């Protein structure tokens, strides 16, 4: 790919990856450690990602277990989980914290699918905005010493890259929706 438009392809890929990261935090009825990715724990006055203060395991399909490396961190971890928008109350036995994920209702599943589709649509808009920026850049390039044929070829490459990313987004949305709706 031409280095003049490589930047735009990378931006499209970044939009796609951001959408996938957003999908990882949506819980689909089974325990997934990624739902804890955005939770920060107050570790001696420093906000620290939860994954860095303890071991996270999935002992059963609907249970996450967090074992802080320091037992005095249990209260801080519990507080961080309660303050997050996770919507699950942690239980602890003094050594480990357990998060039990309830079975999702049909209505909640449908709401989550709508949310997934919104995130997918936002990613598509971001990709199309990158395409627009690339085309504007190519128009400016056309005013300099670059031939019309070369500009046309570069526009075709950008369009193909856009189409490819949108297909990938649609596929990811479909897979995540299927995962959520699977009981």
86-144: pLDDT as tens digits: 777 888 888 888 988 878 788 888 888 998 999 999 999 999 999 999 999 888 887 87
Nearest CA among 130, 151, 164, 163 for reference residue 2: 151
- Give mean pLDDT, residues 157-165: 93
Identify the pLDDT of residue 169. Answer: 94
- Give mean pLDDT, residues 19-44: 79
85 or 53: which leads in pLDDT: 53
Angle between helices 106-142 and 148-181 (to 10 degrees): 170
Q: Which residues of 1-12 are buried (b: 16+ CB within 10 A; e: fewer)?
A: eeeebeebbebb
pLDDT at 60 over 90: no
Q: Catalogue all structural domains in the chain, each as residue range(s) with its CATH number.
A: 3-24+105-181 (1.10.132.20), 33-100 (3.30.1360.40)
Give residue 29's pLDDT band: very low, low, confident or very high (50, 70, 90): low
133 or 37: which leads in pLDDT: 133
Residues 6+ away with beta carbon under 8 Å from 26: 35, 112, 115, 116, 176, 180
Identify the pLDDT of residue 61. Answer: 80
- For the chain, list the strands marked E by DSSP: 40-43, 46-49, 54-60, 63-68, 91-92, 97-100
* Cα 182 to Cα 6, 113, 176, 178, 179, distances in angstroms: 38, 11, 10, 6, 5
- Give mean pLDDT, residues 56-78: 86
Q: What is the mean pLDDT of the chain?
A: 86
Prediction pTM value: 0.71
CA 33 to chain centre: 13
Q: How far apart, in whole angstroms, are the C-alpha atoms of residue 61 and residue 140?
A: 55
């Amino acid at each position: 790919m031409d280095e003049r438009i490589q930047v735009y392809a990378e931006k499209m890929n970044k939009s796609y990856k951001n959408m996938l990261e957003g999908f990882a935090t949506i819980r689909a009825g089974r325990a997934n450690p990624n739902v804890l990715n955005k939770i920060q724990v107050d570790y001696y006055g420093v906000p620290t990602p939860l994954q860095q203060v303890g071991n996270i395991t999935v002992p059963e399909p609907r249970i996450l277990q967090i074992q802080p490396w320091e037992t005095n961190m249990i209260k801080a971890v519990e507080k961080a989980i309660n303050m997050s928008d996770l919507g699950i109350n942690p239980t602890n036995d003094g050594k480990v914290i357990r998060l039990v994920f309830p079975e999702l209702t049909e209505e909640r599943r449908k709401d989550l699918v709508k949310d997934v589709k919104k995130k997918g649509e936002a990613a598509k808009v971001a990709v199309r905005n990158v395409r627009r920026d690339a085309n504007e850049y190519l128009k400016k390039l056309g005013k300099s010493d670059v031939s019309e044929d070369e500009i046309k070829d570069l526009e075709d490459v950008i369009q193909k890259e856009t189409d490819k990313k949108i297909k990938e987004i649609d596929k990811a949305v479909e897979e995540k929706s299927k995962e959520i709706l699977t009981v």
